[in-house]
Structure 1
Amino acid sequence: MITILREIGTIARALDSIANVECKQHQLARGQYLYLVRIAEQPGIIADQLSKLLKVDRATVSRAVSKLVAQKLVVRQTDTQNQRLKHLYVTELGRARADLIERENQYSERVAQAGLSASEQAQLKQLLERVAKNVGADWEQVKAGRHREY
């Protein structure tokens, strides 16, 4: 069996490390850039949706969002139909930071895919989407309290 997860993990850790160093100069703590960009991409998203999108628990989302709110990068707006739901939106400052992070992401994409043809890039994207779907389904099962059979 080919161990692709080690390579995926190495790539993810390297890019996360780079992003954390570069985002620090913009007063974004470790990993906050992920939340900010996803909120900017999906205005009005709620914490539960963000949790599923990023594959992290709701408590982690809550802490990260609270920090972004404190930094005036994100605002919470109560749903008009359901007072328990809080929709998340980036502020103008948050939008500016998200745009900067998106430029960093595009640069990292170019570096990561250097030397790959357009068809190789498309194939890689398709394969990684399939892997993410498989892992996502497993994540959903484990979060629901089920145990995996090894």
Structure 2
Amino acid sequence: MLTHQFLREVGAVARCVQSLSDVTFKKLTLQRGQFVFLTRICETPGIHLLELSHLLKVDKATTTKAVQKLAAEGYVRKVQNAEDKRMYQLFPTVRAEKVYPELIAEENRYLVCCFAGMTKEEQALAETLLRRIRENIEDEWMEWKTGKGGASHENS
């Protein structure tokens, strides 16, 4: 028996935001979930592919595919690192910088919906608790990513 509904609730929120964003950003030729990659690249110009993967908690193949599509649409440019030729840094293009405020405005709109009826204190508490929860599970995720996780993750 499941001991808590928390992860199901978090998943439902994430899927709602994902679905709303996919519809909203279709006019910008952003495909499923690409807005998340694009906002992080805009916020962290020069980020490496692996750093972006870790930041978003996705595998490198998913990040590579998203970045390739964003580059093809003129949102991202890849620059080979001068010191390590195997590594590429990611930068937003002028097109990305123009749409970034729209992406953030939409994210802020979703936050208003999420926090409707909550006091500022409740909002701050929710954010603090969720950050702590993320940090806790992130430790488990990092162990799994680095191959130090237990047997329960062997087939993940």
What range is the shorter-chain TM-score in? Answer: over 0.9
1:47 aligns with 2:31: no
User: Aligned ranges for residues 32-43 of structure 1 at < 5 Å?
Assistant: 32-43=34-45
Supply the distance in 2 between the matched residues of 1:99 and 1:118 (Cα, whole angstroms).
Answer: 24
**Counterpart of 1:109?**
111
3-state secondary structure, aligned to 2:89: strand
1:147 aligns with 2:150: yes
Supply the distance in 2 between the matched residues of 1:70 and 1:149 (Cα, whole angstroms).
Answer: 39
User: Aligned ranges for residues 1-150 of structure 1 at < 5 Å?
Assistant: 1-145=3-147, 146-147=149-150
Q: May I ask how many residue pairs the two structures share in their alignment?
A: 150
* TM-score for both structures, normalised by structure 1: 0.94
**Which structure is higher in RCO with an 8 Å CA cutoff and minimum separation 6?**
1
Quick one: which amino acid aligns to residue 143 of structure 2?
Q
* TM-score for both structures, normalised by structure 2: 0.91
Alpha carbons 1:20, 1:29 under 8 Å: kept: yes
3-state secondary structure, aligned to 1:25: helix
Percent sequence identity over aligned pairs? 34
How much does 1:144 deviate?
Answer: 2.4
Following TM superposition, the consecutive aligned residue runs of length 4 or more in structure 1 with deviations greater than 3 angstroms are none
Q: Which runs of 5+ in 1 are unaligned?
A: none
How much does 1:147 deviate?
Answer: 2.8
Supply the distance in 2 between the matched residues of 1:127 and 1:18 (Cα, whole angstroms).
Answer: 25
Q: Which runs of 5+ in 2 are unaligned?
A: none
Segment drifting more, 92-101 vs 122-131: 92-101
Supply the distance in 2 between the matched residues of 1:148 and 1:127 (Cα, whole angstroms).
Answer: 29
Supply the distance in 1 between the matched residues of 2:33 and 2:79 (Cα, whole angstroms).
Answer: 23
What value does the CA root-mean-square deviation take over the aligned residues?
Answer: 1.5
How much does 1:31 deviate?
Answer: 0.7
How much does 1:71 deviate?
Answer: 0.8
> For each residue in 1:51-110, what CA deviation from the matched residue of structure 2 results, as whole angstroms up to 9, or x when unmatched?
000000111111110111111100011122222221101001011222211110011111
Alpha carbons 1:142, 1:148 under 8 Å: kept: no
Segment drifting more, 137-146 vs 66-75: 137-146
Alpha carbons 1:43, 1:89 under 8 Å: kept: yes
